[in-house]
Each structure stands twice: as C-alpha cells, then as structure tokens.
Structure 1
Amino acid sequence: MTEPEGKPGSRKGRPNYDREFRRRLAAAACEPGVSVAKLARDNGINANMLFTWRSRYRAQLQAETTPLIPVAVVHETPPARVAMSAQASGVDHRTPRNGTIEIRIGSALVKVDGAVDAETLRLVLGSLQS
C-alpha cells in the first residue's frame, strides 16, 4: 500500500493550521487577562506555538500601523520680535514663544502650551506608542 499524497509542502506528523485559525487564536492571546497556556491547551496546540503566533501577530499589527499622522495648522503667527536696548545686549533675555501643539493618537490627546523641551515631548509621544 502507498501512503496518500498530501499537499505540496505539507509535513507528515505536523498539522498545518489554517491561517484564520492562527490569527484568531493569536488575537485572543493578546487580550488582557488571557492565559496563553490555557488557551493553547483548550485548542489542542502547544503553548510555545501559540506564543510564536502571538509574537508574529503583534509584529504584523505594528508593521500595519502608520508611523506618520496627519497634521493640521490651526493658526499660524510669526514669533514676536523684541527690540533690545544697547545695555541689555550682553544679557540673554529670551522671550518664550506662545503657541499650542495638539496631538491626537487614537483616543489619547496630548496638548502642549508654550515652550516645551524637545526631548521631553519625544519621551511623552514615545510612551503613547507602546
């Protein structure tokens, strides 16, 4: 007797799970409070396999998100220029720039009034991405 021929690329003894099945379980494994080991056991698969699927699923979601967001200039005013006297020319008196930056990322809103340190703003925006 000969063995039945499988699909090209299929491996004997190892099931080839449907792509939709893998995606559905990986998405379920990303839900808060879900035990990946219990989810894997309930579906008859190895927990390490589900961890791998979940990792690939998260990487795919990250790749699909666009790093750039649309920006709209609401009101643009040139910075105010202040004339300095000859006596004060040796002293560094900077006038703070007035303005507002409003950034919406998903349900989060970051609103910045006045002058802001660029590094601080970078840290705040970076924390919203994770």
Structure 2
Amino acid sequence: MDITVTEPKARPGSRKGRPNYDREFRRRLAAAACEPGASVAKLARDNGINANMLFTWRRRYRAQLQAETTSLIPVAVIHETPPQRLAMPPNGGDVGNPTPRDGTIEIRFGGVVVRVNGGVDADTLRVVLGSVRS
C-alpha cells in the first residue's frame, strides 16, 4: 500500500536541525500510519521523516482518539435489597463452639480481588466489600 502525505515546508525549530511540522500534517501522517497494511517505516521514508518520530505521532494520535471516544455510562440503582441476617439454629449448645468453615470465596471487581479463606463473619465481610465498592 503506497501512502504519501506531502507537506512542502517544515518550519524551522527552536534548535538547529529540528523542524516543527504542522499539526495537521502530523495528524494526517499518523492517521495514514494507522491504516491496515500501512508500513510506518516506508511512510516515514517517503515523507522524509524519521520512523521513530512517526511511531510517536501514531501513538499520540491513537491515545487522543481513545480519549475522545471513552465515556462513562450513567448507572442508576433501582432497588437495593438489604442484606439478610441468618438466624441461629435453635440448638443453643453449639453457640460457644461454632464449627469451622472450610472453603474459599473469591470476588473480583475490575483489578481488585477479594479472597476470603475459611470462616469470616458476615458483618466483617460486608464492611470489606462496602469499602471496595466505594
């Protein structure tokens, strides 16, 4: 695929040998570098610039596109049910010596992982999950 974006003049930069290319030229060239099948090295060579510079322009162009398209979606909680309390069994002899619970609970919220091993009382777990949620 042959893509050439021509810009006849580069403005002189603040330092010798470093031209300042027009923003529109950089944007067009970065967009051309994002096309499927485009060779960044060939595109840079055809336009007389360094390939690393074009890679930088392309990375910035993609980041700008992503920032423009990323948005938050409004969410509303319609009905939040209060947590249910578990009633203790009528057998009062086991209250002092609860049976150990085995197992693992793993909850993932995006990049956060909450892992609970063994037995944890419901109130403590509720506080931990509430702090992760906020």
Q: TM-score, normalised on structure 1? A: 0.48
Q: TM-score, normalised on structure 2? A: 0.47
